[in-house]
Amino acid sequence: MSDNTLPGSPELSRGGHARAILALGLPLIASNLAQFSINLTDTIMLGWYDVTALAAATLATSLYFIIFLMGAGFAWAVTPIVAAAVAAGDETQVRRVTRMGLWLSVIFAVATAIPLMWSERFFLFIGQDPDVSALAQDYIRILAWSMIPGLIVTVMRAFFSALQHTSIILWATIGATLLNALLNYALIFGNFGAPELGIQGSAIASLVSVTLSMVILFVYAQWKVPQYRVLYRIWKPDPSAMKRVFLLGLPIGLTSLAEGGLFSASAVMVGWIGPVELAAHGIALQLASCAFMLHMGLSQAATVRAGHAMGLRDEAGLRRGGLTVIAMSMGFAAVTIAIFLMFSETLVSAFIDPAEPERETLLSVGISLLAVAALFNLVDGLQVVALGLLRGVQDTTVPMIHATISYWVIGLPVSYILGFTLGMAQVGVWLGLVVGLLFAAGLLMWRFWGRSVNIARPATVQPV
């Protein structure tokens, strides 16, 4: 690929940027949806199995994923550095950065998996139902070990995204998704002669499927891009590359922790209202997260394109690409809003067993939450695309501060006030999420257009 065809090249028009974004972004969107469908399958099947199990899984995954997202910061730091190195023709840097991303991810995974074994006391401390808390610990004691292969997969996804080898990400994720669905059906309900393990069976299915995805990605790396020698002397530390990945990745992880923590805190607050409301919250959140995968794919494409633009020092191309990806995100959001409002009952009912005694209550609460989710999908898409652009130009520290203020100083207090002080219950909690995401989108967009479009050199806030 010549320089004038790289993302960020000055020769690309806005139409050219749109085609390049779609070429890179569509496989990423599809792989994100496939990855998300693993959690979606868990939610649907556990909802069919037992409402208490669904509430427990919602609670457990809320804790698990905020920790996972923090660790994924080191993986996501790999994408912009590798993308810039590819544009500059530096294969050695590609290899060094990827391997140290793997190191940091595994260290984080081991350090955090062990404390998750005793999560029941934490759930009880934050006021959750005792039965739900006990089941949540059973689930997370197995799921915690998927942190190691899960973060490794995230690093390899970042590596392949930066190289624009996105099809393998899609196929590996589809394979893991199909295996997860099959194992869920067998292990949750006791089909195919397997034991009926309920919520623990769901956790086992997730662990096995993500491990399969990890193996596929490593085999592909050795087969298709052997020149980067990702696993060659993997045991050898590289302090310089590790420092760079750590300094860029830590703010990314903390930003994800701030956002994920906001959603987990919302699950806790809804849990105070009741188990049925918490189960409905889980359903609405799954649907909103599914729509979010579209914006996440665009954000990942934006990171790669911005990273290439940085390697080429192409400020004009970055501006055109930025405007294009933002417009595409807003277009996706408009379609999502229409679907959520027009087909809310159909979407929510897919998660509920027709024989469930609490079906009507679950359906009513879920529909009301999905109406709010239609609104916050718009602002959530804008903030994640802005984050993707900022990460591409290796600007993560100030965005971390902006996001933390938006989510915790603004969003969380508004959620509590609307939900409990003003008596709006779970709908008020979700409206608070909208307010927090709206402030984040505004601040992050201001940051990108105000400062980080100057890519004559890496952002000064980032030590190298």
Write down the pTM of the prediction.
Answer: 0.77
Residue 13 dihedral angles phi and psi, to the nearest 5°: -80, 180
Q: What percent of the chain has pLDDT over 90?
A: 36
Is the predicted pLDDT of residue 7 greater than 60, yes or no? no
Per-residue pLDDT, averaged over 46-69, amounts to 84
Q: What is the mean pLDDT of residues 418-428?
A: 92
Residue 7 lies in a domain: no
- Higher pLDDT residue, 180 or 59? 180
- The whole-angstrom separation of Cα 363 and Cα 215 is 40
| pLDDT at residue 179 in the model | 94
Torsion of CA 141, 349, 276, 35, to 10 degrees: 20
Is residue 173 assigned to a domain? yes
Spatial distance between the Cα atoms of 446 and 390, rounded to a whole number of angstroms: 11
Answer yes or no: is pLDDT of 323 > 50. yes
The string of pLDDT tens digits covering residues 70-114 is 899 999 899 888 888 887 788 888 889 999 999 999 999 999 988
Instruction: List helix spans (H) across 114-238.
Output: 120-125, 130-143, 147-163, 167-189, 199-224
Q: Helix crossing, 199-224 with 51-88: angle to 10°?
A: 10
3-state secondary structure of 427: helix
Total domain count, the chain: 1
Question: So what's the pLDDT on residue 14?
Answer: 64
* pLDDT score of 125 more than 70: yes
pLDDT of residue 349: 87
Q: At what angle do helices 167-189 and 199-224 cross, to 10 degrees?
A: 160
Q: Is the pLDDT of residue 27 over 60?
A: yes
Please tell me the distance from the alpha carbon of residue 31 to that of residue 342, in angstroms, as a whole number: 26
**CA dist list (Å): 422 to 254, 361, 368, 436:** 31, 22, 17, 18
Position 182 scores a pLDDT of 95
The range of the structural domain enclosing residue 81 comes to: 26-452
Q: Dump pLDDT digits (tens) for 204-248.
A: 999 999 999 999 999 999 888 888 888 877 888 889 999 999 999
Taking 70 as the threshold, does the pLDDT of residue 405 lie above it? yes
Q: Has residue 6 been placed in a domain?
A: no
Distant-in-sequence, close-in-space partners of 372: CB < 8 Å, separation ≥ 6? 427, 430, 431, 433, 434
Note whether 362 and 356 are within 8 A (CB): yes
> What DSSP assignment string belongs to 116-144?
GGG-HHHHHHTT--HHHHHHHHHHHHHHG
pLDDT at residue 190, as a whole number: 92
Residues 404-409 have a mean pLDDT of 94
Asked if residue 17 belongs to a domain, the reply is no
Return the minimum-mean-pLDDT range out of 144-148, 358-362, 383-387, 435-439: 358-362
Closest to 261 (Cα-Cα) out of 436, 99, 92: 436
**Is 15 within a domain?**
no
What share of the chain in percent tops pLDDT 70? 93
Winning range, highest mean pLDDT, from 155-169, 203-217, 274-288: 203-217
Averaged over 304-320, what is the pLDDT? 80
Domain assignment of residue 161, yes or no: yes
Residue type, 200: Q
Residue 216 lies in a domain: yes
Residue 219: CB atoms within 10 A of its CB come to 12
Residue 129 in domain? yes
* Sign of the dihedral through C-alpha 121, 122, 123, 129: positive
How far, CA to CA in Å, does 220 sit from each of 14, 226, 229, 236, 461? 33, 9, 12, 22, 36
User: Nearest CA to 448 among 376, 378, 398?
Assistant: 398
The SS3 call for residue 115 is helix
With a cut of 80, say whether residue 69 has pLDDT above it: yes
pLDDT exceeds cutoff 70 at 11: no
Give the residue ranges of DSSP H helices in 225-274: 239-273
Task: Specify the 3-state DSSP secondary structure of 192.
Answer: coil
pLDDT at 298 over 80: yes
State how far Cα 137 lies from the chain centre. Answer: 22
As a whole number of Å, the end-to-end CA separation of the chain is: 28
